[in-house]
Amino acid sequence: MGIDVDIIFKIAGVGIVVAFLHTILDQVGKKEYAQWVTLFGFIYILFMVASIVSDLFGKIKSVFLFQ
């Protein structure tokens, strides 16, 4: 039971890559692209977290409905 450590490392890895790309693009002068990279990274992580929360609600539902 509990959250897999693999998912935490995926989220951290995406965060590191997005931060790296944002910094590089910001220094080059492509601030618009840097903001888009950050937005897409945030949306990707948001979908990952949404799937984790969906699994959690499924487990809670199965516990309380005795299925």
pLDDT confidence of residue 3:
60
Q: The tokens of 13 are what?
A: 């890895």
Domain boundaries, the chain: 2-64
Report d(CA 7, CA 52) in Å as an integer.
9
Taken in order 36, 39, 45, 48, the sign of the CA dihedral is negative
Per-residue pLDDT of the chain (67 residues; tens, 9 = 90+): 456 788 889 999 999 999 999 999 999 999 999 999 999 999 999 999 999 899 888 888 888 886 5
